[in-house]
Structure 1
Amino acid sequence: MEKSNWSANQRGRGRGRGRGGRRWEAVSGGGRAGSSSDWRGSGGDGRGGEEEQQQCRSSGPSTGGGGRGGGGGGRGGGGGRGAGRGKSVQYVPVRERLADPLTSMHPEFERMDISESASQSSLPAGTEITPCKRPDSGGKSAVRFIKLLVNHFPVNFDPQCTMLQYDVDIKPVAQGHQRSNIELSKFDLSTIKNKLFSMDPAQFPVSKTAFDGERIICSAVELPTGVFNVDLPRGRGRNARYECTIKLVNELSLDRLEAFLNGNLSVVPRQILQGMDLIMKQNQNRLRIGRSFYSTHFDSKDDLGNGIYASRGYQHSLKTTAQGLVLNVDYSVLPFIKPVGVLDFLWFTLQIDYRNGISPRQKKQIEDALKGLKVKVTHRTTRQKFTISGLTKENINDIVFPLDDPEGKTQPKRVRLVDYFVDKYKKPIKHRNLPSLDLSKNGNMNYVPMEFCELIEGQRYPKEELKGEEARYFRRISLANPGDRRDKICEIVKARDGPLGGDCAKNFNIQVSLKMTEASARIIKPPDLRLGDSQGRSIKCPITREDCQWSFMDKHVPLGRQIEQWAILDLSEGRLNSDRFVGSLITRSSKLGIFMKEPVYYKKCGMDVLSNPDDLRGLLRHIHSKAHRLQILVCVMSRKDSGYKNLKWISETETGILTQCSLVWHANDVNEQYLSNLALKINAKLGGSNVELFDRLPHFEGDGHVMFIGADVNHPPPRNTSCPSIAAVVATMNWPAANRYAARIRPQEHRKEEIQNFGDICLELIHTYGRLHRVKPEKIVVFRDGVSDGQFLMVLNEELMDLKRTFESDGYSPTITVVVAQKRHQTRLFPKDNNRKANVSPGTVVDQTIVHPQDFDFYLCSHHGTLGTSKPCHYTVIYDEHGFSSDEMQRIIYNLCYTFARCTKPVSLVPPIYYADLVAYRGRLYQEALTGYSPLSIASSASVSSSTLSPSSISSFSERAFKLHGNLENAMFFC
């Protein structure tokens, strides 16, 4: 192997800093000092733990898929890969004038795990809108004050320390027929980097550097720069050569972070935080999955059966707070696929007997399950990992392919796959009646029989695919009660293989306290609600229960719809007790003040009709013609089925029929609570009102209409490269009740978070409001979901500015406030008392100590958690033309959480965003229905459908798939 010689005049690694391991005083700024025994060096990452429990049981069957958008795309930076190898080695000395800043070269550095990308505004420099600051010292309103423990662990750092950032460009060197533009995986890049560092550990000290797995290295010492060659074996006695170019691109002094925490710098030094976050992730003792770390040891007690096991781990991230820099650590559990042979996976996990061949349906099931999973091969020696792109069309016995002459002297000859494995590897193929795995990449055909492939470790299994006892056990170990979760987090922080177990952070002079943060919290008063009595009069309903739930016992909804024209589509395959179900639903609805007559039409049909869009379209049109002036169609299904998406897409965009789905075992059970939920959903879809606030919202007591807008974007799975993202915007259509919404759905550029034409969408909803009330709202509050701290500027300078320009062109000038809601964080609140099983009470708000040092933000736990540990929602007011105080904004959001149509208790997320999330997911179902693509596979995060759409086709796709039928444009069809 060729080894580069180091330059004789290379500068020393220490550069006279001399700050090594000395102690220092705790940095000023409040509450970060601790006794030396409470501090340790550290390492790690994080994303917000398991999803909270579902707030209200939905009566409609869930089909999974289309979840919230995940992590970012592929490698960025630096343009295409160059070919050939350099003739000489050039070293770049450290100078006062450094190379281009790292973020200008590699935008992906801005999306490192501490936040999503810090978006660049299109406005001229100096004209950007920045997030507004906290208007006061925090809220004062409370029914009582409490003390909490928070999973924030204070971090101490040396402000005199400087981090060196290096760009590492790794590309293969062309050799013979090997191409030089081959895309390298993170595994390949890490292997090559590790090999380079092992060549000279003195010059490349691993424990004093942090690598992001792609192009970025943060170092505590100077590293050699220049071009280096690395050789790695690639099998059959041959080596692959790679060219590594290392360039110093930035020096970051931590005194800027200290200045920000002390209030002397108004903008967070994001590059410094991202570099420190990278340092904290260097944990070699655990398996890293995204932003989380899991044990590499399989514990038999966590075996879920059927080739699936649960692994316990943690997520962690750095945060800047009012008390200083903290490490936010949370407990996490994920299901994984056991690293077994592919045939064993078919047998145990998919429960398919493959010995006598497989049916077309089974082949589709296998392909959906395997696509995107990684395997290693057993017929030859190699460390390479391969990604399954699909199955071959033919069975192995029928596969013939062209085999190139390695010397290029003769034309390729056609060879049978079974003969090739015998001649080349002395491996006869046993299961010739099965298709082969297609492991092709970069245009190179690679077919390998399943019997020679094994799944590698560390591959997630979708939680929604768990069934029966395995699902119940997984839920039991992942939903730890507050006391248990707090203990687990403290154990993780102290563990040798935990986030503080490595040497990397110590070498950067970073210390972390072992004690959780103590914070003060307030519990704010719940609102009084407006319900109805049997005479149709409004009555005041105070909230008296500890869990803030209310009851319809002897009460009606404020506005119940008369339901005279409705029909039933019976898809239960003969299992529905229709008389009992219909009679019970009518009776229960009438007790709620929702008066239903007998259905005007009843149709029986098999579930298979849902899988055929043409047949389903004809069926719905037939029902529509038979049931004149149909208000709603209740569909009773025998099981959860992927055809659900076809039903919703066709009924809501083509035939204009509102549908309400129910599973047959729920319908036959005629449980009072279930029937109440069903009736409430039907009433909301038809324009009724299920609950209202008795008093007007704070700050809006005067005249003038107010509108609340919710906005969200649903992204395709992380490795999907072509499906559009789905933007959803909802807006209230009544005031002062503010509980009836209209929605709009738009597809947009793949994985683009900025909502395109946001102003036009909102103006359309404003005009709808104007037609309904003959007046436009004077005040607007926009709630935005799905964006990180680093994207606040995008929301302000792109979406908000587009909204203002659109309104201005229409001669409309309301006052506007913008609030961002974030649920994908790891902050957990634990009551500081002896009740280990109790969650914080609904209405718990924290706006000191753990919040942003300057911005207008707070944590609000608005719901009552009965399972696991409640996760508060993090709200940040980033723009405010109304002059809200902390108390006013907190009460507005908390009170709105009582107006969600499907529940008789407050929900965890402000309804405009809750509904926007439901609508964006509904849009994803539309797209899946049209394209036939579904992420409901084992490798959903890696599956890409051949029928997905290019960005150029998004416009026409919108016209076909997302235009709501006129009958439903202003209905809460998504409820």
Structure 2
Amino acid sequence: MGQVSGVSGGGAWGRRPQVSSDPPVVASSSQVPVSVPVAAGVSGGGAWGRKPLVSSDSTVSASSSSSSTVVASETARGSEVRNPVPSVQVAATDKKEPMKRPDKGGVVAVRRVNLYVNHFRVNFDPESVIGHYDVEIKGENPTKKISRFELAMVRDKVFTDNPDEFPFAMTAYDGQKNIFSAAKLPTGSFKVDFPQTEEMRARSYTFTIKQVNELKLRELKEYMTGRSSYVPREVLQGLDVVMKEHPSKCMITVGKNFFTRETEKDEDFGFGVAASKGYRHSLKPTAQGLSLCLDYSVLAFRKAMSVIEYLKLYFDVPDFRQFRNFRNNVEKELTGLKVTVNHRKNKQKLTIVGLSKEDTKDIKFDLNDPEGKEPPRKISLVEYFRTKYGRDIVHKDIPCLDLGKNGRQNFVPMEFCDLVEGQIYPKDDLDKDSALWLKKLSLVNPQQRQKNIQKMIESVDGPSGGKTIGNFGMKVETKMTPVEGRVLKAPALKLADRGRACREEPNPRQNNQWNLMKKGVTRGSVIKHWAVLDFTGNRMPNGFVENLIERCWRLGMQLEQPIVYKASRMETLSNYNALEELLRSVIDEAFREHNGARPTLILCAMSGRVDGYKTLKWIAETKLGLVTQCFLTGSAAKGGDQYRANLALKINAKVGGSNVELMDTFSFFKREDEVMFIGADVNHPAARDKMSPSIVAVVGTLNWPEANRYAARVIAQPHRKEEIEGFGDACLELVKAHVKVTGKRPNKIVIFRDGVSDAQFDMVLNVELLDVKLTFERNGYNPKITVIVAQKRHQTRFFPATNNDGSDKGNVPSGTVVDTKVIHPFEYDFYLCSHHGGIGTSKPTHYYTLWDELGFTSDQIQKLIFEMCFTFTRCTKPVSLVPPVYYADMVAFRGRIYYEASSREKNLRQPPPRGPPSLASSFSALTVEDKAVFKLHAELENVMFFV
């Protein structure tokens, strides 16, 4: 190794930190003027301050060092880091922060239950200091990217060769650029040499390490005790890497999840794929102190085995005599997978890029003389492996794997290649039986999930195993945190009985569900002009339409006989022009034969789930302004009266009816208030999609005090951008739609934002909310606004302590709220399990109030959200997510359908050019044509076409 240069001094080092004995502290409405006066005497939300300066070249970094990027899963508040904070600068005096909790939590309850939560307290020494080091590893060619395999290889050699200076057990490495250490490390540049072997040529690297920060755990304690509002994000990220150091060596690592290497017999699917149980964990500052939140998970993996044996199992063949018959399927399955070779000792992971065109026995190449004395000679691959490695190739009549890179071929016989562990098998590709079994393993009941979590926290391979965390002065308690939950009272509902309003009290013993066997919807729609499109070729169940009409009438709807009936085929759905022509013919026939009538609804019968469904929705909702209701004939035949009732509820909501309302209006608000609920979500492309846009959906209520009818807007924005562009304009449009329907402008607005992590709260407050405020102010409008984030992407789970504390399925009761111990130390959040968990383990929604001009107490805001969960239009039970967010999620997904349908149609008309996508096609820029794809038809802007 080379000489150490530039050793710098360091902080409080040289002693093993001790665990602290101190306990932790615990609608088209553009014509509507926005000058409609606000109700007299209602004050606005106050001056918001100056508009922030937008900088095109500044970014906010979570790290104090520009040369180092911490790869960690959690932020200071414990949520996943997915997107950087946008480049917006707000003057320090104007910058808004998440509000503090206004009280000590809620107290209202019909009963209290004892629960356990999968949070495990982490004790740490607040006087400890952790060194944060930046690591840079360069090869002989400085411009060549170093693989993760090489990074680990070089780091391991440095530490192995110098155990006194670089103690493994006192450090944690994130696998890329960051090392965190409980001991002082040398700094400088080191030359790392690997001598030539039969397996590898001689290599030389430069390992440069420099200290970039000292992480003082005192800052974390001060933050959790409320003595500091500074978020010690880098401290938490460093501790997160420390917690992951041991399991990353013992378990299969997939992103931020860890899975066991051993699989049990009942977890093997039998075709080279098996399920593996594991967990995901995160560190969270909570009211009881630092917590480790750990939850159970399951994934399907390709088994680590020889490629030959894998193919035999996967394709269920004893040999490869018929290989040519399934060659294309083999190449499709193997391409992209990683393998190691077994004819050499080097276990570097190589990627399969394809198969050789020729069979192994026919491959020949030029072999160069290593000493350069002889000219290259032609040699067969079979002879080369026999002379070079002493290996005879058995399977000569099948292709080789191509393991080359950068356009250079590297053919290796399949029998000398082994699949690397930890390669996920997509669950969508599983056969029906395997998919059901994986679902069964994933959706275990609460008691089993609790046992699985307990087993993992106690495992020697788990996050509390090994010596590393102890050397950093940390200790994880292995008992789940006990908490008290409060069960809220379900609201009385308004239904109808023979045309008159009636009161319905959801029964807690029936998990707060209600039924419509002898009741009707609150306000049934009148549908005189509608059509039926049968894409099954007249194979719709006998009498289905008549039975559906009868069920609608029993619910209080007036569904007349259809005025147009057309039979078609499923193939029509895959033909854009034919489908649009068919839909237009329905409109034309209705207009021609029924005195200018336009179909209020088109009922579409389908025999299966096909991509043409997306095209149907896109054409109907953006080009023609048609409300459609699709159904599967197989489900209709088996579903009976319950199926028809569910279909009727969707139809009623889509055409302007009301299925359920609260008997008593939301008690928090005053009689003179006009209130609007807004929901917003961003739908991002799939992980491997590098070019599709992100889809924004914003929905808002159109009626008050019922607050159960919504208008929607769909917007496309650049790929994977979470910050909503033009959020203020979208909200103002929805306010205009509300005014158009009610004649009143809301004086109070509650915005529910979905899909953001804790690290993005700053963006929500100082970019999105600011945009809304400024847009409203420019239009002479100043309502009071409350902003609440709804989070489902977390690992927190609650388990009843006894049978008496749970529901009939062993889950926490519907309406259970928790706002002690495992919430934020001082900010305004709580967990609510509003729904009944019938399958698996209930997942609560984490609600976070960031901004509140309406002045809710904890009890009031919890009651509001729980009661809203009873107004979701598609079912007769409370849902798990507050409806504005639920609907926004549905609309954003609808926007994704539009994009996929339009892309498919565009590619059929004009195949995309080869090569990398352009800026416009990758949606880093959006053209007028791009945006038109998502523009709703004016007829549908203010109806719930999406439910």
Post-superposition offset of 1:656: 2.8
- Alpha-carbon deviation of 1:960? 4.0
* Structure 1 position 173 matched with structure 2 position 140: yes
Question: Do the aligned partners of residues 758 and 16 (structure 1) sit closer, same or farther apart at CA in structure 2, a change above 3 Å counting?
Answer: closer
Measured after TM superposition, the shift of residue 21 of structure 1 is 5.4
CA deviation vs aligned residue, 1:448-507 (integer Å, no higher than 9, x gap):
787776542212223344443222322222222222222222221111112211211000
Say if 2:563 is the partner of 1:567. no
1:288 matched residue in structure 2: 253
For residues 646-725 of structure 1, the aligned pairs below 5 Å read: 646-725=615-694
Amino acid of the residue matched to residue 883 of structure 1?
A: G
Task: Supply the AA of the counterpart residue of 1:287.
Answer: I
Q: Which moved more, 1:424-433 or 1:210-219?
A: 424-433
Counterpart contact for 2:534–2:540, Cα < 8 Å = no
Any conservation in 1 of the 2:170–2:181 contact (CA below 8 Å)? yes
What is the match of residue 122 of structure 1? Answer: 89
Give the AA of the match of 1:119: V
Show CA shifts across 1:584-622 (max 9, x none): 222222221223233333334333333333443333333
Deviation larger for 693-702 or 315-324 = 693-702
Aligned residues: 880
Structure 1 counterpart SS, 2:452: helix
> What CA distance in whole angstroms lies between the structure 2 residues aligned with 1:798 and 1:523?
36
Distance (Å, rounded) in 2 between the aligned partners of 1:874 and 1:406: 67
CA contact (8 A) 2:7 2:188 kept: no
The equivalent position to 1:772 in structure 2, one of 730, 741, 746, is 741
Alignment partners' CA distance in 1, 2:822 and 2:654: 40
Match of residue 927 from structure 1: 899
| Contact 2:488 2:816 (C-alpha < 8 Å) held by counterparts | yes
1:87 is aligned to none
Aligned to 1:503: 467
Q: Check 1:237–1:468 CA distance in 2 against 1; reply closer, same or farther (3 A cut).
A: closer
Q: CA deviation at 1:128?
A: 1.0
1:834 Cα shift?
3.9
C-alpha distance in 2 between matches for 1:404 and 1:673: 73
CA distance, structure 1, for counterparts of residue 702 and residue 768 of structure 2: 22
Q: Which residue of 2 aligns with 1:315?
A: 280
Q: Distance in 1 between matches of 2:58 and 2:325?
A: 47
Contact 2:364 2:381 (8 Å CA) reproduced: no
The separation in 2 between residues aligned to 1:406 and 1:925, in whole angstroms, is 58
Q: Which residue identity does 1:142 align to in structure 2?
A: A
Find out whether 1:265 has 2:228 as its counterpart.
yes
Q: Is the 8 A contact 1:395 1:432 kept in 2?
A: no
* Aligned-partner SS, 1:882: coil
Within 5 Å, give how 1:68-467 maps onto structure 2.
102-107=64-69, 109=71, 114=78, 115-116=80-81, 117=83, 119=85, 121-174=88-141, 180-231=142-193, 237-282=200-245, 283=247, 284-340=249-305, 348-349=313-314, 363=328, 372-376=336-340, 382-387=346-351, 421=381, 441=405, 454-467=418-431
Are the structure 2 counterparts of residues 532 and 235 from structure 1 closer, same or farther at C-alpha, using a change threshold of 3 Å?
farther
Q: Against the structure 1 CA distance between its residues 205 and 702, is the aligned structure 2 distance closer, same or farther, given a 3 Å change threshold?
A: same
- Whether contact under 8 Å (1:380, 1:425) holds in the other structure is no
Q: What CA distance in whole angstroms lies between the structure 1 residues aligned with 2:358 and 2:735?
A: 58
Report the alpha carbon displacement of residue 111 of structure 1 after superposing the two structures with TM.
6.0
Looking at structure 1, the residues matched to 578 and 72 of structure 2 have their Cα atoms a distance apart, in angstroms, of 49
**In structure 2, distance between residues paired with 1:28 and 1:357:** 64
Query: Secondary structure of 1:147's match?
Result: strand
Assess if the C-alpha contact under 8 Å between 1:590 and 1:596 holds in 2. yes
Q: Is 1:490 paired with 2:454?
A: yes
In 1, Cα distance between equivalents of 2:419 and 2:755: 33
Going from structure 1 to structure 2, the CA distance change for 1:523 and 1:971 (only over 3 Å counts) comes to: same
CA distance in 2, matches of 1:376, 1:625: 64
Q: Counterparts of 1:825 and 1:356 in 2: how far apart (Å)? A: 48
What's the counterpart of residue 837 of structure 2?
865
User: Partners of 1:854 and 1:927 in 2: how far apart?
Assistant: 42
Match of 1:610 among 573, 576, 593: 573
Partner residue, 1:55: none
Query: Structure 2 vs 1, CA of residues 853 and 229 (structure 1 numbering), >3 Å: closer, same or farther?
Result: same
- Aligned partner of 1:727 in structure 2 is 696
Structure 1 CA distance for aligned equivalents of residues 62 and 191 of structure 2:
24
Classify the secondary structure of the residue corresponding to 1:304: coil
CA positional deviation for 1:16: 6.2
Cα distance in 2 for partners of 1:204, 1:680 equals 66
- Matched AA of 1:544: N
Q: Does 1:781 align with 2:750?
A: yes
Take 1:946 and 1:218, find their aligned partners in 2: how far apart are those partners?
A: 40
Give the Å deviation of 1:285.
Answer: 1.3
Tell me the residue number matched to 1:34.
none
Native 8 Å contact 1:933 1:945 kept in 2: no
Change (3 A) 1:882 1:225: same
SS of structure 2 residue aligned to 1:245: strand
Tell me the amino acid that sits aligned with residue 803 of structure 1.
Answer: V
- Counterpart amino acid of residue 232 in structure 2: P
Paired residues of 1:371 and 1:389 also in contact (CA < 8 A): yes
Structure 1 pair 606–100 and aligned structure 2 pair: CA distance change class (3 A): closer
TM-score (norm 2): 0.85
**Are the structure 2 counterparts of residues 616 and 242 from structure 1 closer, same or farther at C-alpha, using a change threshold of 3 Å?**
farther
Shift of 1:396: 7.7
In 2, the alpha carbon distance for the partners of 1:954 and 1:777 equals 32
The aligned residue for residue 5 of structure 1 is 3
User: What percentage of aligned pairs have identical amino acids?
Assistant: 45
Unaligned runs of 5+ in 2: 27-56, 387-391, 592-597, 907-915
Please give the alpha-carbon distance, in whole angstroms, between the structure 1 residues aligned to 2:677 and 2:585.
38
8 Å Cα contact 1:728/1:917 also seen in 2: yes
With 462-471 and 325-334 compared, the bigger mean Cα shift is at 462-471
CA 1:793/1:154 → structure 2, altered by over 3 Å: closer, same or farther?
A: same
Displacement of 1:649 after TM fit? Answer: 2.4
Q: Please say if residues 140 and 205 of structure 2, whose CA atoms lie closer than 8 Å, have aligned partners that are also in contact.
A: yes
How far has the Cα of 1:627 moved from its partner? Answer: 4.3
1:29 aligns with 2:25: yes
Structure 1 residues 387-432: Cα deviation after superposition (integer angstroms, max 9, x where no partner): 456789x8889x999999999x9xxx9x9xxx98568657989798
Change (3 A) 1:698 1:308: farther
Closer, same or farther: CA 338–611 of 1 in aligned 2, 3 Å: farther
Partner secondary structure for residue 680 of structure 2: strand
Secondary structure of the corresponding residue to residue 599 of structure 2? coil
Q: State the alpha-carbon separation in 2 of the partners of residues 234 and 684 from structure 1.
A: 72
How far apart, CA to CA, are the structure 2 residues paired with 1:551 and 1:637?
28
Q: 2:489 aligns with which of 501, 506, 525?
A: 525
Paired letter, 1:661: C
1:875 to 820, 823, 847: 847
- Structure 1 unmatched ranges of 5 or more: 31-76, 80-98, 175-179, 935-943
Q: Take 1:611 and 1:379, find their aligned partners in 2: how far apart are those partners?
A: 49
Query: Residues 189, 78 of structure 1: CA spacing in aligned structure 2 closer, same or farther, 3 A cutoff?
Result: farther
**Paired amino acid for 1:148:** L
Q: Larger C-alpha radius of gyration, 1 or 2?
A: 2
Would the alpha carbon gap of residues 128 and 824 (structure 1) be closer, same or farther in structure 2, given more than 3 Å must change? same
In the alignment, is the contact (CA less than 8 A) between 1:122 and 1:798 conserved in 2?
no
* Contact persistence 1:396–1:449 (CA under 8 A): no
- Tell me how far apart the structure 2 counterparts of residues 191 and 624 of structure 1 sit (CA, whole Å): 68
* SS of corresponding position for 1:763: helix
Q: Structure 1 length normalisation: TM-score?
A: 0.83
For the residues of structure 1 that align with 2:330 and 2:885, how far apart are their CA atoms?
Answer: 37
